[in-house]
Structure 1
Amino acid sequence: MELLDGLQQSALIELETLLDDGSLFALRPYFEFLADTAGSQFAAKIGAGITHLYMEALGYGWRANAICLSSSIDPHADFIYDGGNATGHGVVLAEAHGSFAKSVTAGTITSAAKRKYKKQVKPYITATSPFGEVIHGYSIAFGSKPTAAGSFLSVSETRISKPRSKSGGAPLTRPDAGQPGGTPAPIALATHRSNFMLMGVPEVVDWIDWLRVPHRAMPERDPIPFLRLQYAGGYYLTSAPWFWSRGVPSRWIEGFFDHPHWWRIAPREHIPALRPRDASLGWFAIEEKGGAEFLNGLSAAIRSGERRAPPSFALPTFDPVGFGFAESDSATLRARDKDDRAYDYARFRDGLALLGDPFRGSPRDIVFWSPENGLPFG
């Protein structure tokens, strides 16, 4: 967890230092002081982020690392996705590329997208992966000149023989919707393993690993506390400070929740994702229904005693919020507080959210997930 905390902190500092805050993508002048390797690494991170946003826009809500495609050093795409138009048919690949150089043009970015598709995506179309057959692929290249505002984006993808729908992408799903037949367990477990790690709940990660990895020792069966937080018109689950579940009298907790400035009296070192004493880092959480459905499905698999994941999990998906998509713009405008201020947060299709101003939320209570009996919900 210390490693993850450090990476989160460094990522935020890096972004705030090197990216200009404006309506157009632009690098700040500090970028020119980076060594070539550091600049290339930063461009690669931005390219990966842009790729994920593009895949979210197409309706792909479940993700995994594509390293499973090859055990050798042969180049392969970066990510595997499920959902969207691939639902029920297989999975798709996504290769990410980022480039920040004075020589960047629309043409060089287009060439990079095509080149990387041919080398790192096309050879794996129809390949078998632990998450299903690869039926489609994308190579997404993003670039910008360090000395000018604006950017270039190019996408190369598998040729489709029949006409695509007029929308050009997968239809948006609603909060009460999920994949027909459920989300395949392998990719649901991979996605939520990353999510709960980001949320600061390694105990759930341990149980996921126990279910996925043969001969792994069984984790402790102690109930895991979650803070239930009301935020932006909805409810979210996030990790709870340890002292709330270690013999603190319930009347103290109730009084804590009723306090108008609850976050000011909480020991900052025990608030997850805020250990650096910088509220702008945000707070990772998961939409309550999405989190509860997954945790209860995980408990059912643990309770069966067979140490085997089910074929699928019945999980909801959500409209993305906070990324500039048309749907997210309207959702953000609807989610305002009593002072008519829009909330500053981002939410992905799987329910994972980054609450940019978590202290505006209202903590409601602590709920406990039992590895065998699940999480009380509804």
Structure 2
Amino acid sequence: MNTTLVFGPSALAASIARTATLRDAPPEMLARWGDSALTQVEWLVEEGTTFALSQYLQVLADAERTSFAGRIGAGITDLLMNALGFTWRDNASCLSSSLAPHADFIYADGAVSGHGVVLAEAHGSFAASTSLAGMTREAKRKYLRQVRPHLAAASPHGKVIHGYSIAFGSRPGTAGAFLHVAETLISKPRGRRREPTQPAPLPSPEAAPTSLALSAHRSNFAIMDAPSVVQWIDWVRDDGERPDEMLPSSFIRIPYAGRFFLCSMEMGWPFGGYPDWLDEFWHPRWWPPLRRARTLSWGRDDFAGWFAMEEKAAEGFLNALSAIVRNGRDNLPETLELPRVDPTGFGLGGDDAVLGSPDSEYRYALYRDGLALLGSPPPRRIAGHRTWLPREGIGGDRP
């Protein structure tokens, strides 16, 4: 594994939001949790090119400092798992209904695609005594206690075949951080390996475990302020009443950094329908959505954060969700054919190349499942409007 994890402020804030919203809380509540992640990064992480904690961390109560360290640890874990090629995620509480210790998250895709899922345990520590040796011990201890006992266990998303324990720490008042990853040992087979008589069929590169895709996108559309989509996901997962299939979800289509993204207007334009004049009179000062603004500052790059979905990824999932609505949740497929996106704004590497071109004016984070936190500069225009109808799927620019 590469020894350096590179990430920008938007990626860190987005990953904290992604990991904090993987439970079945109301989507309106999870949207506020996503907002709070951006605020925390703004105030508690220092400006600069090397990770450092802000002086404001010291004025918080002990419990708040401990909680923030845990959130950062979870965010770093999500960044690393995405950088390693994993796409779909869920909270690992589904492993056990008891209080037995278990890892924090379940991931799928990447190297284990078609074989099972992996566990990821997260740990964060911000203490004056934090050291690499301490993070190494903590990662190994948590692996032995909370990951290894669940290897080969059955989960709602598949068999657990591998696991990681990721510890991240930093000393307040000093620049730099310590990261250690403990993972399942992959031992070489003894003796001569027999070739299978019939090669196992390779899974489609776009096949995603349905249960994990629904969990990941429930979180995504919640922090995007699209509660109607979340309600349909809950119905598909047999949790909640069947929503009104005649009510559409509205999205605006905006060009950004050479791609198109869909941004929910369900909560941003609270008056129902979609005003035709919005395209003509669109101005960056209205960005983020009209309901509220989120602004962060990191060094000289001030940016506003707006959670959005890469258009092809959103279209693929929403159409797959519509197919389930039409066919009924009793006929839920084991996998969904969903596109992946190459990450932007973070990655494994020894320099800033993984953050994108240094000459680019765009500062944003984009994940494999299509979720993005768009930063500076604000989008300059609207390229259209798209509507999702639960039974019919997502329509064109002007359905």
TM-score by shorter chain over 0.5: yes
CA 1:156–1:324 in 2, change beyond 3 Å: closer, same or farther? closer
1:349 is matched with 368
CA 1:83–1:179 in 2, change beyond 3 Å: closer, same or farther? farther
Give 1:254 shift: 4.2
Q: Secondary structure at the match of 1:50?
A: helix
Task: Compute the TM-score of the two structures, normalised by the length of structure 1.
Answer: 0.85
2:36 is matched with 10
Give 1:325 shift: 4.3
Which of 269, 273, 276 matches 1:242?
269
Q: Tell which has more relative contact order, 1 or 2 (C-alpha 8 A, sep 6+).
A: 2
Alignment of 1:49 with 2:75, yes or no, is yes
Q: How does 1:29-178 map to 2 (within 5 A)?
A: 29-162=55-188
State whether residues 66 and 126 of structure 2, in contact with CA within 8 Å, keep that contact through their aligned partners in structure 1.
yes
1:168 is matched with none
Q: Distance in 1 between matches of 2:222 and 2:339?
A: 20
Counterpart residue identity of residue 13, structure 1? T
Counterpart residue identity of residue 223, structure 1? P
CA 1:341–1:154 in 2, change beyond 3 Å: closer, same or farther? closer
CA 1:3–1:358 in 2, change beyond 3 Å: closer, same or farther? farther
1:372 is matched with 391
Which of 190, 213, 223 matches 2:248?
223
1:207 is matched with 232
Runs of 4+ in 1 over 6 A off after TM superposition: none
1:25 is matched with 51
- Structure 2: segments with no counterpart, 5+ residues: 1-26, 190-202, 297-301
Q: Distance in 1 between matches of 2:112 and 2:288?
A: 43
Task: Compute the TM-score of the two structures, normalised by the length of structure 2.
Answer: 0.81
Paired-residue identity, % = 48
CA 1:127–1:330 in 2, change beyond 3 Å: closer, same or farther? closer
Give 1:247 shift: 6.6
Give 1:341 shift: 4.4
Q: Secondary structure at the match of 2:167?
A: strand
Cα RMSD (Å): 2.6
Counterpart residue identity of residue 182, structure 1? A
Q: Distance in 1 between matches of 2:139 and 2:113?
A: 25
2:197 is matched with none
What do residues 116-136 of structure 1 show as CA deviations (whole Å, max 9, x unaligned)? 000000000001111100000
Give 1:31 shift: 2.2
Give 1:332 shift: 2.7
CA 1:85–1:236 in 2, change beyond 3 Å: closer, same or farther? same
- 25-34 or 151-160, which moves further after superposition? 25-34
Which of 293, 296, 310 matches 1:287?
310
Counterpart residue identity of residue 74, structure 2? A
Give 1:300 shift: 0.6
- 130-139 or 219-228, which moves further after superposition? 219-228
CA 1:306–1:194 in 2, change beyond 3 Å: closer, same or farther? closer
What do residues 339-377 of structure 1 show as CA deviations (whole Å, max 9, x unaligned)? x64201100011100001362343111111110010136
State whether residues 255 and 379 of structure 2, in contact with CA within 8 Å, keep that contact through their aligned partners in structure 1.
no
Alignment of 1:263 with 2:284, yes or no, is yes
1:329 is matched with 353
Give 1:281 shift: 4.3
Q: Secondary structure at the match of 1:350?
A: coil
Q: Secondary structure at the match of 2:372?
A: strand
State whether residues 304 and 378 of structure 2, in contact with CA within 8 Å, keep that contact through their aligned partners in structure 1.
no
Aligned length: 349
Give 1:36 shift: 2.1
1:318 is matched with 341
